[in-house]
Chains A and B, each alone.
Chain A
């Protein structure tokens, strides 16, 4: 099909995410993978390196490799080797960790040094109210200090709190954190990541404004994910392990490009990329239906609703041809505009 070539030939992931293991030192109540210290499923070093190499050779726009989990540092030496391997291609490398390895200052310094030696570009430490039940804030602070000493850029992600919560405030106002911020202000930053419920008895937290989650999903097509089970996923959003349609196949040497291309056979993925899950639900079900869905905390929560609510799915299957022209033309324009911006960036750099 002509448009399939258009969409595929001019698209490329800019990042790959490798979920190295589901195992984690923590067992947070509303973890998206229900990670814990006993859960099975991890990738070996050879498989990770194959995936990195094939991604590098297949996707022209690839820039970033993200190692996450579970807790990726449970892979030990293998993780450092894989970071070094990805860096050798000139790719930006990032790990997402809970900071458990900051148990003591000495241990934190050792790990931070290993990460530096592996040429790690940047790190995200995930923490917050749930994480802190398993990884004390003091350990996180040790990790923050050690990373700063090694001059590794670090963005600390704090899960959103209860209405009366003060975790975020306590963290950024901790004397050791303030001191670190003063010494290397450009290397440490903080962000709040929206929490979402996974169980019917989850203690819900204050939802964000609807307009902050009523957005397109830019992760689709710009990211490609390898899971600990060796599957390839279209995204690594919070609910992707709950949505069959986001898993596009098993990774085997040589099939990555075909798997990526196969995503364009599913119009819903293109649609999510343009209108976002809430935008789609609004279009096909109407504004009033959105109000019946209750609190929506996260874009990925809406994506799960979109894929699992039979009422929405049935309506989608009936009406989607009506939206094909509009959505594909918008996607084409996105591709075009990206090309123009890339050209302009090159011109500016040359100037």
Chain B
């Protein structure tokens, strides 16, 4: 059934057309109809990016960052040394001011300089991805600190998620049980459900990298791997912070627990996201997207995400990076699926 709907978009001037008088144009007269186009070559700047327009502090930060990346991109020798040892390369090159700059971002990029990590990501082989990522994540343990909580808050708010104010104060969370955390914040619950020794706690962030990968893979066209990095970088920080500040997380896991879980993970059948299943679901997602069938689109995407997260978590467990208590597995998968869908902007 055809339907006629008058769009009401406040704030936009409606131009009266000399050519098409039958209706008002929503965005004004296109330049294609103007015989003498507006010759205003300076009008293309909306938000000027010049030193005069930017606060000094911001400008200095951007300049530092630019200096580093310009060097990495232009100087092959520096690039090689940088990826071998970023701190030393910067010190050797007189970039002393940058030696402690944005370590978390450098670590993420270091990992993605690794061909094996990139290849595994591309083919969605999560076992290989975790195996290759593990050394970088362990190495990058030092970069996360609670001082970035404001940044994390902003990120979460930007993604439409809410972080309860009590999370800003670790002391108020010390005695909360995991079920309470589930109610309060599923992110904290997810972090709390992925446990192990110190290394494994840090490695928990890797699972969130996968969540990010899964999220941006299915967001739609136009999101590239760089998008994954950005989300991954932030989410890994979120994960680590949640781990570091949560009183509900076991500080260590006993040898017997580890052994039992490890054996269980190895012997348990890994649920396969077979190619046929994946192709069918993806076809359903794409078709529904094209047809504007929002509900089917959401259902298809949610199903892929759920299965993919399940497979990836198993892969991380199997190589001993993380451990998950069996009783919490179902809730964890559910929470991670919901969280991923939120990150994707899919309200399911």
Contacts and interface: CB of A to CB of B under 8 A. Distances in A.
A33 B289 contact: no
A33 B32 contact: yes
A224 to B, nearest CB: 13
A65 B190 CA distance: 48
A270 interface: yes
Given A39-B33, A287-B160, A268 B63 contact: no
Given A209-B294, A229-B31, A332-B69, A249 B37 contact: no
A216 B223 contact: yes
Contacts of B73: 6, 9-10, 335-336, 339
Interface string B336-347: 000000001110
Nearest to A199: B23
Interface residues of A, number: 106
B30 A201 contact: no
Interface string A206-230: 1111111011111000000001110
Interface stretch (B112-120, B126-134, B201-209, B243-251): B112-120
Contacts of B223: 215-216
A341 B22 CA distance: 51
Contacts of A41: 32
Contacts of A265: 45, 48-50
Nearest to A312: B11
A209 B44 contact: no
B47 A267 contact: yes
B58 interface: yes
B2 A200 contact: no
Contacts of B112: 337, 340
Contacts of A142: none
Interface in A59-91: none
A34 B19 contact: yes
A174 interface: no
- Kindly name the residue among B3, B6, B7 whose own CB sees the greatest number of chain A CB atoms within 10 A: B7
A92 interface: no
A321 B27 CA distance: 27
Nearest to A210: B345
B222 A216 contact: yes
B8 interface: yes
Contact of A329 (B105, B219, B289): B105
A241 B55 contact: no
Nearest to A328: B62
Contact of A34 (B4, B10, B30, B63): B30
Interface string A235-257: 00001011111111110000000
Interface string B27-63: 1111111010111110111111111011100100111
Contact of A6 (B1, B69, B221): B69
Given A282-B158, A336-B72, A211 B344 contact: yes
Interface stretch (B163-171, B226-234, B252-260, B270-278): B226-234
Interface in B81-99: none
A320 interface: yes
B30 A241 contact: yes
B147 interface: no
Contacts of A192: 290-291
A209 B50 contact: no
Given A209-B289, A209-B292, A324-B49, A310 B222 contact: no
A198 interface: yes
Nearest to A200: B24
B145 interface: no
Nearest to B69: A332
B66 interface: yes
B109 interface: yes
The contact size tier of chain B is 35 or more
B14 interface: yes
B325 interface: no
B49 A32 contact: no
Contact of A199 (B10, B24, B226): B24
Contacts, number: 263
Interface string A307-351: 111111100110011101100111011111111110010010000
B264 interface: no
A3 B65 contact: yes
Nearest to A193: B290
Contact of A244 (B7, B43, B50): B43
A47 interface: no
B109 to A, nearest CB: 7
Contacts of A164: 1
Given A160-B292, A245-B43, A310-B11, A3 B66 contact: yes
A245 B6 CA distance: 27
A328 B292 contact: no
Nearest to B61: A325
Nearest to A219: B222
A206 B290 CA distance: 10
14 contacts: A1-B50, A5-B66, A201-B6, A204-B3, A204-B5, A204-B7, A212-B297, A215-B219, A244-B31, A265-B45, A270-B49, A307-B46, A325-B61, A340-B113
Interface of A: 1-6, 9-10, 22, 32-35, 39-41, 160, 162-164, 192, 197-212, 214-218, 227-229, 231, 234, 239, 241-250, 262-268, 270-271, 276, 282-283, 287, 293-295, 299, 304-305, 307-313, 316-317, 320-322, 324-325, 328-330, 332-341, 344, 347
A-B pairs, top 10 by smallest CB distance, nearest first, are A241-B30, A3-B66, A242-B27, A33-B32, A206-B292, A215-B222, A199-B23, A267-B47, A201-B23, A334-B226
Given A197-B26, A242-B30, 8 more contacts: A6-B70, A163-B1, A199-B23, A209-B289, A276-B222, A294-B7, A312-B11, A336-B69
